[in-house]
Structure 1
Amino acid sequence: MRDPAASPRGTVSGVCHGTLGELYQGPSRAGGDPEIAVVSFPVDRHSWVYFTPGATAGSPYPGVLGEKSATAARLFLAHYGRVLPAGDWRVHSELPVGIGMASSTADVVATLRCLFRVFSLPYDVDVVVGILADIERADSVFLDEFALYLSGRHRVVRRLGADIGFHTVYVTEPGTVDTAAVTPLLLDHYRRRGEEYQRCLTDLVKGFDSGDPAAVARAATVSAALSQEVLPKAVFGSLQHHRERFGADGVFVAHTGCLAGYLFTARPRAETKSDLSAFFHSLGHQCTFAQGGYG
């Protein structure tokens, strides 16, 4: 039987994971004029984009796609010199907007992956990065591995593999963060604390290179603490204070978002999850458990 995903009459889909903020966000190197470098923390939460050719003959860029995804579609078609057939778009996302889960980037990447399948073209990371560069500062969710990534220049500095993963519990604080608006504050902070960030990044990379998730978690905690000086999270102090009580290996945050939580190298027991839920409830939050990373 013919694969419906390969049929011009069948629905095709593109899917992209989001993030739980970052394991590291800071300068790529100490000294000089800093740039924002990130090691995004992938999470098992996704954006989906569906296209069914021939379903309708409406606008090729309906509002359902969202402005950035529609722009990505136009850039894709222009790059390949293709014309989108009449059809119907549908989208679905598990990623809330504006809290640090890379929702807009995941939407764009899911749209592009869908279009690669519509036209039976091989997935080309360079094309995806080029289109993202024309749209927004981005996370490296277009990769299926960790990477040190210059989010403004859209350049992968170093790939870090897919061997490390974590069990997580996290909460979302109220509000949203405008990344563009806080960028000058971040860069000034990086200039002041460049040496501390460099030590943190060195330890993080060593942890990835040695396949040591506990070392990665320790470095992520340092990065989160440094971030607290410029974009503080209200729950961070409580997380740090009670980390050993729950046996967590580290603390992570969405550095320019509203997420904060614990990293565990082993799955927490059921009673620990109950204790964690009660702890976060006492802080005024409903917590969420999720798998992060790849290992």
Structure 2
Amino acid sequence: MPEAIASCTPLCVDWARGTFGELLQGELPDGNHFLVTLPISLHSKATFLPDPNTKEISVYPSNKKKVRVAIEYLLRRFDLHLGGLLMVQSEIPEGKGLASSSADIVASIRAVSKYLSLPITPSVIEEVMRQIEPSDGVMYEGCVTFYHREVRLAGRLGELPPMMIVAADTGGIVDSIQHNRKSPQYIDSERRIFQRLLEDLRVAIARRDLDEIGRISTISAEINQKRLYKDYFDFFMSLNHRKGVCGTVIAHSGTMIGSILNPYASRTTEAMHEILQEFHDRDIKPMIYTNM
């Protein structure tokens, strides 16, 4: 392999966003398993510091093994050697269904590629991710439909309207790969429902109709409850009648569940006060996320 051509910059930094689970996830009548991303303002940050005295890249923390595999594949793909230290810092909790692993890998690929001035596109990142694990589609900006098992873009849905999510962690850690392998198959009627919901969601996002987006995410959460049971589910469903609350959203292969709120609705502040009090009464720790 040739030596990598050094960038004039001493280091390179890049980021990737996490997602709050999925607005919609299931299987279509054609057999494709899909998800629709819900990007939020949690990030993974990767900093690459080159070292001309070595031909290997060290990853910190050392437990980010998937990051190492991704970068090794990237360098092989472009027939390059490179040495240095790749440091990954993340705000995204692991094993909760918030795309922590995917965001770590995407941020790392972006940082190293920036240093090398490589022509990295989301499709190249897909190729790298495909060697490692199913992915959440976080290499794309905005909301997308993604074939996560194939690691392939299905379609871009555009920017979501502003939203807040008041959420809870139901506890534990879910191995999404194992969950997807063991989860019961969808039946034909569910596949047809997912097809219709995806079509409805395209229209709702184009119209920036947050109430309709929340209705769709709630149905997806209800279907998934039979596959990955979540504590607090009935409580979150009970919140949907409140003004300003648009629906329930979950990590379909994770531990997180939340309520979508419209930050511009007239009674959202009042609703949030009431919801936080109910969290307190039930001894549930609230977590607040936004996509802004």
Instruction: Answer whether TM exceeds 0.5 for this pair.
Output: yes
**Which residue of 2 is the match for residue 70 of structure 1?**
68
9 and 203 in structure 1: CA distance in 2 versus 1, 3 angstrom threshold? closer
Give the TM-score, by structure 1 length: 0.88
CA apart distance, 1:43 = 0.8
Moved over 6 A (4+): none
Q: Aligned AA for 2:194?
A: Y
Structure 1 Cα separation of the partners of residues 213 and 220 of structure 2:
11
Deviations 1:109-162 (A, max 9, x none): 011000111112233212100000010000110000111111011121121011
Q: Aligned AA for 2:175?
A: D
CA contact under 8 A between 1:248 and 1:263: conserved in structure 2? yes
Structure 1 Cα separation of the partners of residues 280 and 171 of structure 2:
15
Identity level (%): 26
**Which residue of 2 is the match for residue 164 of structure 1?**
161
Alignment of 1:130-149 (within 5 A): 130-149=127-146
CA RMSD of aligned residues (A): 2.2
SS at match of 1:165: coil
62 and 91 in structure 1: CA distance in 2 versus 1, 3 angstrom threshold? closer
Structure 1 Cα separation of the partners of residues 290 and 15 of structure 2:
17
Of 110-119 and 211-220, the range deviating more from structure 2? 211-220
Alignment of 1:93-108 (within 5 A): 93-108=90-105
CA contact under 8 A between 1:189 and 1:230: conserved in structure 2? no
Deviations 1:64-123 (A, max 9, x none): 2511000011011111112113x3332210111111011011000011000111112233
Work out whether 1:109 is the aligned partner of 2:106.
Answer: yes
**Which residue of 1 is the match for residue 37 of structure 2?**
40
Structure 1 Cα separation of the partners of residues 177 and 187 of structure 2:
16
CA contact under 8 A between 2:21 and 2:250: conserved in structure 1? yes
151 and 126 in structure 1: CA distance in 2 versus 1, 3 angstrom threshold? same
**Structure 1 gap ranges (5+):** 1-5
Structure 2 Cα separation of the partners of residues 15 and 249 of structure 1:
29
Q: Aligned AA for 1:96?
A: P
**Which residue of 1 is the match for residue 222 of structure 2?**
225
**Structure 2 gap ranges (5+):** 1-5
CA contact under 8 A between 2:86 and 2:108: conserved in structure 1? no
Of 154-163 and 67-76, the range deviating more from structure 2? 154-163
Give the TM-score, by structure 2 length: 0.89
SS at match of 2:245: coil
Of 54-63 and 15-24, the range deviating more from structure 2? 54-63
